[in-house]
Amino acid sequence: GMPVEQNPPALSLYEGADSGLRCNFSTTMKSVQWFQQNHRGRLITLFYLAQGTKENGRLKSTFNSKERYSTLHIKDAQLEDSGTYFCAAEAGGNNKLTFGQGTVLSVIP
């Protein structure tokens, strides 16, 4: 299967709602990053995790290397959260990132 499987492919949320995205890995990964891509294509790094959980405002991400998954949780969704979210993982110290297929998030007023 795909080395990085991201779900769901698309997600619609009403403003104020909470939801989560998930990436499953076919092999043990050393680290994971989460990115948001806006409608112009600009990619912003949200999180880098080598383990555990990080929070930043309304966003929280968890990475469990042993169980081979990572999650991104969005709380109190806002219109500006709309965009495409990607996870990307690195299997070893080889400078190679493998991206998930992305989740297109639409926040509805």
Partner 1 sequence: AQTIHQWPVAEIKAVGSPLSLGCTIKGKSSPNLYWYWQATGGTLQQLFYSITVGQVESVVQLNLSASRPKDDQFILSTEKLLLSHSGFYLCAWGLGGRSAETLYFGSGTRLTVL
- Closest approach of partner 1 to the CB of residue 3, in Å: 12
Which span (20-28, 30-38, 58-66, 74-82) binds partner 1, by CB under 8 A? 30-38
CB atoms under 10 Å from CB of 102, counted, come to 17
Rounded distance, CA 35 to CA 8, Å? 15
Decide: is 43 part of the binding site for partner 1 (CB under 8 A): yes
Of 17 and 84, which CB lies nearer to partner 1 in the complex structure?
84
Compute CA distances 75 → 20, 31, 42, 78, whole Å. Answer: 9, 23, 22, 9
- When asked if residue 42 is in the footprint of partner 1 (CB under 8 A), the reply is yes
Angle at 32 between CA 31 and CA 34, to 5 degrees: 160
Enumerate residues 55-94 that contact partner 1 by CB under 8 A: 86, 88, 90, 93-94
* 39 part of the interface to partner 1, by CB under 8 A: no
Q: What is the DSSP letter of 81?
A: G
Nearer to partner 1, 16 or 53 (CB): 53
For residue 15, the minimal CB distance to partner 1 (Å) is: 25
Structural contact between residues 29 and 66, judged by C-beta atoms closer than 8 angstroms = no
